[in-house]
Amino acid sequence: MLSYEKRPAMGNPTPATSDHLPLNTSSSSLQTNGLTSSKNQPKSEHHHLWLVTGPAGCGKSTVAQFIANAMNLPYIEGDEFHPQANVDKMSKGIPLTDADRWDWLTRLRDESLQRLSSGSQGVVLTCSALKRKYRDVIRVAPYYDHDVRVHFIYLHAPEEVLIQRVQARQGHFMGASMVHSQCSILQPPGKEETDVISVDVSGSLEQVEEEALSKIEDAIARELMRDS
């Protein structure tokens, strides 16, 4: 059985502990696998919003915290910004509606832009963003700041793997039944969504971290080539 950190009941705000992959003590999330030097922000002419997305159980928080540390960027745990009414619904296994999500999504976008405007070259955000229209709420960030580039890091795995991971959690508001609910409404990013990095999280934590960070570096390199 996969092990998970013990996590408190979710409130607003709460510690950033949701949606963690099982931690492996042989590979610290503070390491960068030699891909990007720790404490170095990405070398880019723009400000970047890296949104780590995917259904419950895919490890958004673990991967996002690793990326934020490796690139020395601020980290925003999206679940901390849910209003209490949303938390109450999810705690009872009631799926959120589109109406429940709009204010939450715009709040996450505004918080990310605020962090970028404070001087950081980038910010790492977690948000399930299961549907294209949810991702589009974040995509409009460059309309408010033309220097911002938005990227999605889409984490995915078979539903049975995600259910197993969520079942191993202790004290978290998101139950295993919510995995099926989220997977049933999930709209995986299509080929036309060219700002998406796709990462299969079925493997080990080290493999997931290495792939995510490597693909981020590739995305920045391609941008630098386009801008040169």
- Domain locations along the chain: 47-227
Q: What pLDDT is stored for residue 226 in this prediction?
A: 84
| pLDDT band with cut points at 50, 70 and 90 for residue 53 | very high
| Angstrom distance (rounded) from CA 171 to CA 8 | 5
3: pLDDT confidence band, cut at 50, 70 and 90?
very low
In terms of pTM, does the model score above 0.85? no
pLDDT-derived band at 106 (thresholds 50, 70, 90) equals very high
- The pLDDT assigned to 165 comes to 83
At 108 the pLDDT is 97
What's the confidence (pLDDT) of residue 25? 31
The owner of tokens 């880019």 is 44
Q: How far is Cα 56 from Cα 195, in angstroms, rounded to an integer?
A: 21
Contact 38, 30 (CB under 8 A): yes
Confidence of residue 171 (pLDDT cuts 50, 70, 90): low
CB atoms within 10 A of CB 30: 10
The tens digit of pLDDT for each residue in 212-224 reads: 999 999 999 988 8
> 160 exposed, middle or buried (CB, 10 Å; 0-12, 13-18, 19+)?
exposed
Q: Edge-to-edge strands of the sheet including 122-126?
A: 75-77, 122-126, 47-53, 148-156, 196-200
- Are 57 and 179 a contacting pair, CB within 8 Å? yes
The pLDDT value recorded for residue 27 is 39
Pair 193, 150: CB distance under 8 Å: no
Q: What is the mean pLDDT of residues 152-181?
A: 80
> Helices (DSSP H) in the chain: which residue ranges?
60-71, 84-91, 98-117, 132-139, 141-144, 159-167, 176-185, 205-227
- CATH class of domain segment(s) 47-227: alpha beta
Average pLDDT value for the chain: 82
DSSP characters for 77-137? EGGGGS-HHHHHHHHTTPPPPHHHHHHHHHHHHHHHHHHHHTT-SEEEEE----SHHHHHH
Looking only at the bridges linking them, the beta strands covering 47-53 and 122-126 are parallel
